[in-house]
Amino acid sequence: MPDRGGGPTGPRIRVGRPSRRARTLLLTLGVLAVLGMAFTMFAGFWTDWLWYRSVKYSSVFTTTLWTKVGLFFVFGLLMAVAVGFNIWLAHRLRPPLAAMSVEQQSLDRYRMGIAPYKKWLLLGITALVGLIAGASASGQWRTWLMWVNGVSFGKKDPQFHMDVSFFAFDLPWYRFLLGFGFAATIISLIAAALTHYLYGGLRVTSPGARATSAATGHLSVLIGVFVALKAVAYWLDRYGLAVKSSDFKATDSWTGLRYVDANAYLPAKTILFCIAVICALLFFATLWRRTWQLPVIGFGLMVLSAILIGGLYPAIVQKFQVQPNEQAKEAPYVAKNLKATREAYGIDDAQVTEYSGKSTATDKTKLRSNADATASIRIMDPNIISPTFQQLQQIRNYYAFPTNLDVDRYTKDGKDQDTVIGLREINLAGIPKKNWINNHFRYTHGYGVVAAQGTSVDSEGRPVFTESDLPSTGDLGEYQQRIYYGERTTTYSIVGGPQKEIDYSDDSGEKTTSYTGGSGVNLSSPVNRAAYAVAFGEPQILYSGAIGEGSRILYNRTPKERVEAVAPWLTIDGDAYPAVVGGKIQWIVDAYTTTNGYPYASRTTLGDTTADSLTAANNSRAVVAQQNQVNYIRNSVKATVDAYTGEVKLYQWDTQDPVLKTWMKAFPDTVEPRGAISKDLMDHLRYPQDLFKVQRELLTRYHVKDATTFLSGSEVWQVPDDPTNKSGDAVPPYYLSLKMPDQQQQAFSLTTTLTPNGRDNLSAFMAVDAEAGTADYGKIRILKLPTSTTVDGPKQVQSQFNSEQDIAESIRLLRGGDSEVEYGNLLTVPLDGGLLYVEPVYVRGGGLKYPLLRKVLVTYNGNTAFEDTLEAALDKVFDTQTTTPPPVDDGGGTGTTPPPTSSNPTVQQALQDAQKAFTAGQDALKKGDWEAYGQSQKDLEAALKRAEDAQAAAEKEANKPTPAASSSPSPTPTPKPSSS
C-alpha cells in the first residue's frame, strides 16, 4: 500500500468568520497578554540584576545565569536533536508498502491526519522534550561548576586510591551525564518505536514479520546504546560503593564499602560490566545479521546475571561469611569509615580525656575560689531575657528585639566579659498608624545597640546594661546606630527620596533623617519603577509622588538572606549575630562548604542534626542548607553584613578547604583573603553553633577509634533533651567562658553535655575553644565520664532541683498569684574533678510582663543551693559562708546581708526598718504585687546600708588610739572592741 501522506479533501464547508473589529480586538488582547507575560518575566530578571549590581556581586549573577543558559541550550539541543533525529530516521526507514490488514487500515486514518503537519509536529515534539531537558540540566549548574573548577583534596580513598575530588566533584557530573544519556535513549527509543508502528515498520497483528529489517536495525542500535550506557553505569557503580549509604548495625547511616561490598558487589559489578559490553555489541551486530536472536539471548543473560551475581551472590556472602564472624570481617572497613568520617567533619583531632565526675577535694575554701577562677558563669540567659530588654529598652513600640539575643565578648578595663547583646530593630507591628507610606517610607530602620553584662544583675534581678537608652550610650563608644538591615527587617523600604524617615523620638519630639548609605536600587528610572511595581505586586511604586530624585529601594534585608544570595553555594548558619566593629554595627554570619561525596564518611542530615529546643521555638534560627544530606562540612567562610549600608563581605576562613577553593575558582574575586579580617572584627568571631551541633552528633558515635568497640555499640552516646522545658527537643549548646582541666586560663567556649544512649546519667562533657584568632581555636575537648559509676546528667540534676522540699516550696511561693517561673540555661562547669551545675531562675508575673532573675540554683557533688545570688549559692554549696546571718530576703530581692547586731541606736533603728521592709516584701510576694515588692526591696537595701554605715562609723571611732597611748614611747595597740 502506498504511503498515505494525504487524501481527498471532500466538500468544503464555509464557516462564518468573526468581524474585522472582533478580529482586531482579539489580536490586540493577545498581543497585550503576550507583552504582559514577557514584561513579568523581564521584571524578575531585571530586578535580580539590579540587586546584584547594587551589592557589587554582579559576577555571581552573570556566572550563574550564563552557566544555566549554557546548560539549558546545550542539553536541550542535544535532547531535541537525539529525539528528532530518531523520529526522522524512523520515518525515513518506513516501508514503501504495508500489508493489508485491519490494523493498518485503522492506522491509515492517523497517517492521513498528521500528513499535512508532519514537520510542525516533529518540531513541536523536539522543542517540548528539548525545553524539559534543558530546564532539568540548568538546575545542575552547581554540579557543572564543581566539575569544571574542581581542585585536588590531596587525599585518596582507601579502596580505589583515587583523589577524593573524583568522588566529590567528578562522579556527580558523570552520573548526571549518564542519567541524561539514559533519558535521551529511552525517549528516542519510544519515539522511534511509535513512528515505526505508525508507518508499518512494526506490526502487532498484521500477518508476516513483526518488524522490517530497517526497523529491527534501528531499534537494535538504540537498545544497544541503552545497554552500553548500562555497562557504564555498572562501572561507575563500582566507585559509587565508596559513597553509598546503607543501614548498618550500631550506626544510623553507614557510608562506604563493607565486607560484602568489597568481596561480592565490587567483583559482581565488574562482571556485569563485561556482560553488558558484550550484550551491547550483539545488539549493534543486528545491523548486519538482521535478527534478534543473539541480542535477546545476550540481554536475557545480562538480566539473569544481574539477579544471580548482583543480588543472590552478595546475599549468600553476607549470610554465610559475614554474619557468623561479623566483627572480624567488618573491622577493617569500619576502621576506614571511622578515619574518613572524623576527617570529613573536622573531629579527627578531638581530645578525649577521662574525667571522674566526682571531686575528692576537701579544701572548701579552695574549691570556692576555683569556682570563680574556672568560669565566668553567665546567669543572663539570652534566650529568656529578650522580653526584659523589650520592656526596659524598647523605648518606642515601633522598635523590637529578636526573640533570642546573642552572646559576645567585649573588653572593659582590659578584661573580656561575656555580654548579652541585641539590636533595637524596626517593628512594623508597632507603628501607630499603618499605611503604605508609613510602612515603607517613614518607619524604615531601627536604632541602637543594647547590651548587658552576662554574669551579673542589679538588685531587682534586671540586666546590668553596658549600652542602653535612645540614642544608645555606654561602653561601646561612637558608632553608626541606624539599623536598616537586621533579622526582623523582612519587608522593603524606599529611602533617600523626598519623603523624610523617622529616625527616633525623644522628649523634644520626632527626629527625622534621610538615608545616605548608598545601598539599594535607584528608582529614578521609569523602567526600574515599573519592574519593581510588577515584581513586588505594588502598582503605587510606579506612580507614587513619594518617590523622586534619590529614592532607593532596599530589600533582601536579613543578614542570612543577603549572604545566601551573594554566595548561593554556601550553607548558612542559623544564628547571625551583631557586633560593633570599627564604628559600625556588623552582622556576622558563619557559612559552610559541604559535599555528600566524601568516600567512606557517614552522612548526616543538617536539618535534623542542627535542630534543638531553640530552633523548634524560633524557626528563623534554622540552618539554610544547600544540601541537606552531607558527609563533609567546613566553616570555610566568615561573612559580614553592615547594618547601615547592607554591604556584604565574604572572608576566606579555612584556607585549606578544597571545596572553597573550587568555588573561588568558579566565582573569582568574591571571597576576600583571611588576612583582610581586621583585628577588631577578629575579636568578635567565634566558633559557629550549627557546626558544633553537627560535630557533637557525630561524636556520639565517632568518639571511639577502635573498630571493635564501634561495632559493639557499647559506647554510643546521645544528645540529651533540654531539661529546662518539656519540648522533648535537644538541648542547645551554650557559649561560656571557662577553663577546661588542661587549660591555664579561661577561654570563650561552646559547651554541651552528652548522655548514654537511652539513659539520663552523664557520659561526657564537650567543649570547643570558640575564640577566633587564638592558637587553640576549634580544638574540641571531651571529658569522658566513667562507665562503672553514674554521674547525674542534666535531666537528673533538673529533677533533683525540682524534688528538694525547700526548693519546691520556694518555687511555689515564687509562683504565687499569677506569676510564672522560667528556668534559664542549665550550665555545666568541670571543677576539680567534679561538675558544677548552675541554673538561673526567672520570675515573670504580677504587674510585670517580663522575666527578672530571682534565684540561682547551684549543685556540686550532691550539695544543692537555691539562693538569691550566684555568690550566695556558691558560698552555700561549698559551705564557705561567713558567720554573719544569711541574706534577709529569700523571696527574690537583693539578698543583701545585714551587718552584725549592735547596741548602737542608729544601727538598731536601721535594722528594725530593714525587718519591716522584709516583712512587707514577703506579704507583697505572696499577693503577687510586684510593684510593692520592688519598693520593699529598695527600702530594705536602704535600711541595711544605713545600718552598715553606722556600724562602720562606730568601729572606726572605737579604734582611734588614745592620747596617752600615742605619746608613749612603747605604744601598746588598743584592741578592737568585739561587736555583738
Band (954; pLDDT cuts 50, 70, 90): low
- Mean pLDDT over 623-628 rounds to 86
DSSP state for residue 619 in the 8-state scheme? G
Range of weakest confidence among 386-390, 613-617, 685-689, 948-952? 948-952
Band (1; pLDDT cuts 50, 70, 90): very low
Predicted confidence at residue 110, as pLDDT, reads 67
d(Cα 769, Cα 65) in Å, to the nearest integer? Answer: 41
Beta bridge partners of 633: 594
Exposed, middle or buried by CB within 10 Å (0-12, 13-18, 19+), for 575?
A: buried
Q: Calculate the average pLDDT of the chain.
A: 85
Residue 412, pLDDT above cutoff 80 = yes
Residue 911, pLDDT above cutoff 80 = no
Range of weakest confidence among 246-255, 441-450, 654-663? 246-255
Place of cell 532596599: 554
Predicted confidence at residue 621, as pLDDT, reads 82
Q: Regarding predicted confidence, which is higher, 48 or 10?
A: 48
Round to the nearest angstrom and report the end-to-end CA distance of the chain: 129
The contacts of residue 901 (CB under 8 Å, 6+ apart) are 907, 908, 911, 980
Predicted confidence at residue 955, as pLDDT, reads 60
In the chain, pLDDT over 70 holds for what percent of residues?
87
Band (973; pLDDT cuts 50, 70, 90): very low
Exposed, middle or buried by CB within 10 Å (0-12, 13-18, 19+), for 202?
A: buried
Residue 659, pLDDT above cutoff 80 = yes
Range of weakest confidence among 83-87, 200-204, 920-924? 920-924
Band (414; pLDDT cuts 50, 70, 90): confident
Between helix 266-284 and helix 213-240 the angle, nearest 10°, is 160
pLDDT (tens digit per residue) in 317-334? 888 888 888 888 888 999
Before 471, cis peptide (omega within 30)?
yes
Predicted confidence at residue 491, as pLDDT, reads 93
Give the DSSP per-residue string, 571-617: EEPS--EEEEETTEEEEEEEEEEEES--TTPPPEEHHHHT--HHHHH
Predicted confidence at residue 58, as pLDDT, reads 94
Predicted confidence at residue 971, as pLDDT, reads 38
SS (H, E, C) 38-89: HHHHHHHHHHHHHHHHHCCCHHHHHHHHHHHHHHHHHHHHHHHHHHHHHHHH
- Mean pLDDT over 697-713 rounds to 90
pLDDT (tens digit per residue) in 145-170? 999 999 999 999 999 999 999 999 99
Compute CA distances 340 → 153, 259, 295, 335, 602, whole Å: 13, 17, 44, 9, 8
Alpha helices in 199-292 (DSSP H): 213-240, 259-260, 266-284, 286-289
Band (902; pLDDT cuts 50, 70, 90): very low
Residue 818, pLDDT above cutoff 80 = no
Interior/surface letters 64-98, b for 16+ CB within 10 angstroms, e for the rest: bbebbeebbeebbebbbebbbebbebbbebbbeeb
pLDDT (tens digit per residue) in 338-354? 999 999 999 999 999 99
Band (563; pLDDT cuts 50, 70, 90): very high
What H or E segment, with its residue span, contains residue 502? strand 501-506
Alpha helices in 703-804 (DSSP H): 707-712, 794-803
Predicted confidence at residue 441, as pLDDT, reads 94
Alpha carbons within 13 A on the beta-carbon side of 282 = 19
**What's the pTM value of the predicted model, to 2 decimals?**
0.84
Is residue 594 within 8 Å of residue 571, measured between CB atoms? yes
d(Cα 688, Cα 560) in Å, to the nearest integer? Answer: 14
d(Cα 407, Cα 681) in Å, to the nearest integer? Answer: 15
pLDDT (tens digit per residue) in 467-483? 999 899 999 999 999 99
The contacts of residue 560 (CB under 8 Å, 6+ apart) are 572, 574, 576, 589, 624
Range of weakest confidence among 4-13, 554-563, 592-601, 682-691? 4-13
pLDDT (tens digit per residue) in 364-374? 889 889 998 89
Q: Regarding predicted confidence, which is higher, 98 or 811?
A: 811
DSSP state for residue 676 in the 8-state scheme? G
Residue 967, pLDDT above cutoff 60 = no
Range of weakest confidence among 501-505, 620-624, 966-970? 966-970
Beta bridge partners of 389: none
- Mean pLDDT over 857-864 rounds to 90
d(Cα 872, Cα 852) in Å, to the nearest integer? Answer: 18
Give the DSSP per-residue string, 150-207: ----S-B-TTT--BHHIIIIIHHHHHHHHHHHHHHHHHHHHHHHHHHHHTTSB-SSSS
pLDDT (tens digit per residue) in 95-134? 876 556 665 666 667 667 777 778 888 898 999 999 999 9
Range of weakest confidence among 407-411, 765-769, 967-971? 967-971
Range of weakest confidence among 245-259, 503-517, 924-938? 924-938
pLDDT (tens digit per residue) in 266-309? 999 999 999 999 999 988 888 777 677 777 888 888 888 888 88
Residue 839, pLDDT above cutoff 90 = yes
Band (975; pLDDT cuts 50, 70, 90): very low
Highest mean pLDDT among 299-303, 924-928, 955-959: 299-303
Beta bridge partners of 506: 509
Predicted confidence at residue 253, as pLDDT, reads 66
Is residue 520 within 8 Å of residue 492, measured between CB atoms? no
Predicted confidence at residue 978, as pLDDT, reads 34
Q: Regarding predicted confidence, which is higher, 360 or 445?
A: 445
CA-based nearest residue to 597, from 144, 173, 258, 167: 167
Predicted confidence at residue 36, as pLDDT, reads 78
- Mean pLDDT over 508-532 rounds to 90
Predicted confidence at residue 643, as pLDDT, reads 96
Torsion of CA 462, 465, 470, 476, to 10 degrees: -170
Range of weakest confidence among 151-165, 859-873, 945-959? 945-959
- Mean pLDDT over 513-536 rounds to 92
d(Cα 680, Cα 466) in Å, to the nearest integer? Answer: 19
